[in-house]
Structures are given as structure tokens and as C-alpha cells.
Structure 1
Amino acid sequence: MKKILSLVLVFVMAMALSTCALGEIKTTPYQHPVLGFTIQAPVGWLQMDSQNIAKLMADPSVAKSFPNVDISAYVDQCIANEMTMFMDIKGSNFNIVGENVGSAFTADQLNLLLTPSLISQYQQIFPSVNFIVDGDTCKMGDNEYAYIVYEASTGVNTVIGAQYMICESGMLYYITLTIDNAMKVADYIEIDTMFDKVLASFAE
């Protein structure tokens, strides 16, 4: 199985934080135009397709922020795997990529097969990373996920990331959330609640 690292776009987290709370994040149905999956997506968040993400990644500051990452290869992965990303005005974001693996895997199997490699890759990317959850499974709605949660230093700030994996109809999906560790508690709760809706609503 090809292992794809759904690299989070943490460089956007350098954006200034707003002084006001986010308030309730409303959601609306979204369907990916190529992969076909559906989710409840956050209203008011910028949605970017793989081509626009590739343009964003071409910024020289990205390569400077991630010296251990082959940005060109990552951009190719973004496009090949039809990455889509949603980002709010503060830089919090989540992205989804899909890969045709042609087989069915349970959450437990994904945890066993992919988690060690993901942990190793994150350790290579970030100057400092601590795994809050270093491999577990959970159920959100009718969906069962394998996931990891980490806190990492980008050299500019500290972010919290959560990467979820699910296999549906022979497709392996990575759904990755990234937020700033300095975020207000109220904002964190709102984003966490919204992301739970995304995970629970994900469907092929």
C-alpha cells in the first residue's frame, strides 16, 4: 500500500489571531467533484482544490519552512490525489486526500499498517513533535477511523494536528485538521465540534 503523508499546511498558522471568538460554526453539504465523497463543510471557510493548493505551496516560504520535505513531490501528490482543503480566516484548516487502494481495511488494520510510518514522517518534518495520541481508533457517527494527534513546533509557532484515516469502497482517505496551539479555548471548542461533524458526516 502506498503511504501518503497528508501534510498539513501549517505555515498559514503564522497569520494573526483574531481577538474575538468564532461563535458557532455552521455547516453545509459539500461533495467533492472528482472523488465523490460528501461531508458537512464549514460555512464561511475558504475551500481550495488541489490546483489552488499547489499554487499556494509554490510560495518560497513553504520550502524554507519545511527543509526536509520535497515540496515538488508533495505538490504532485496533492494533484494526483485530488486534495481539497478548507481554511478559516485565522489559518485553522483541514484537508482531505484520497487514494485508490482497491481493498477494504478496517480502522484497526489502518492503525497497524500506517501509524508507524506517519509518526516517522512527522518526526522528520517538524523540529519538535509530541504525539498526544500515537495511534488509536474511534467511531464518529457510523464511521470508524484510525487516528493520531500531535503537537508540533514549526519553528514559528506551535500547532496541534489530528490526522484521521478511513477506507471506503477501496478508497483510502486521510482527513487532517491543524489549529494554532495559542487559540482561545472557546474557539478550539467550536472548531472541534465542527470537525466532529465533518468526520461523522463523511460518506462515499
Structure 2
Amino acid sequence: MAVKSSAILTLIRIDDGEDASIRSATAPSDTTKLWFDTTTQTLKRYDSSSGTWEIVNDYADDMNNMRQEISVEYNSAITQLKNSLTSLVEELQTTTTNNTTSINSLSSQIIQNASSIQLVTNNVNSITDKLTGVATKEEISQWAKFEEGILKLGSSNSPFDVRLSNTELGFYENDKRIAYLSNQQLNISQAVVMKQINLGTFQIIYDEDLGLLIL
């Protein structure tokens, strides 16, 4: 904040002589000249309208007013700065509260999704203690995973795996189900029987010489 002020200063040369001011401790009778009051060490001129001697270039009132204006401007600037700092602190508090809420929400989501973490990762200590060095957790993680309530068995570098859930036992190739057991029945998308199918007491047999036989 910058406070600017201006004033006009009148300089009057004082010389000894006919045209100079009068230097005395009491008011002179000649009111056409300036009077230097030796008692108060001030230069005065006669004001015919008021009939009194007045100090030349008396800026006491102007300086007073200027000090008051500066004080008002200074206090106003301090108040504005205080309000700005208060608003900033409130915004920071709000942001901190929002961030804390977001962090707590994220933590809750991580805890809720813990069931989808791999079986080996969740139970490393327990499995390691029970296996007693027979297999390591790295070896197990290559063929066993537990995700979203489904147990997956299969080599990590193989396209085939078996998935066991609460509703079925499925056989998959490249994440596509090719057969599954559910509700006491086997469902196969496509099957190739090399030699024989038994249906109750009946048999369907393929003979290289006789072809397809039903017995």
C-alpha cells in the first residue's frame, strides 16, 4: 500500500535592510512588511481581514490531516490483510477436511476390497508356516489365486484354468468357459468323444471297421 501526499512550500528571503522583515519580540506597527517573531522564532504576515498576524507557511493542520489520512489508510490495509488471511485459513481448513474425508473413504474402499486380493498375498504367513518349506509362496502364486470369491487353479503361463465358485465348477481356456458342473449336471459347449459313450445300460461305440454301434 502506498500513501501519497503533496504540499506547497513558500520560501521567503529575509534580509536586513529597508525591504527586509522586521525582527522583534513584539508586533510592529508597520503592517506592510513581514514580522519575524523572535519570541516564537516564526515568520508572520499581517492579515488585514482579520486584523491579526498569522504565521507564514503554517502546515501544522495539513500535517495533522495527513497523519490522520495515513493512519486511516494503514488501519484499512491491516484490516483487509487480516480478512484475507482469515479467509485463506478457512479455505485451508476446508481443503484439509475434504482431503481427510477422501483419504478415509479411500481407506474404507481398500479394506472392503481386501477379499479380492490374491489368496497367497492374504495368507502368506499362515501358508509359509504350514508348508514348512515344501513350497514357497511364489510357487503357489503361480497356480492358485482367490479373486472376488472365486478360487482359480492353473499355471500362470497356461491358457487353461479351473474356477470354483459357490454355484459351479468351471473349466476355462483363454478366459472362455468351455465346460462346467452345476446343479448336478455337466455342461459342455463342444465335445469330441474318441471311442465310447455310456448312457445308462446303453453304449454308443465307434468301431473302425463297423462304424458307429449302439448296444
Which of 1 and 2 has higher RCO (CA within 8 Å, sep 6+)?
1
TM > 0.5 between the two? no
TM bracket (short chain): under 0.3
Pick the structure with greater CA Rg: 2
Identify, as 1 or 2, the structure richer in strand.
1
| Length-normalised TM-score, structure 1 | 0.21
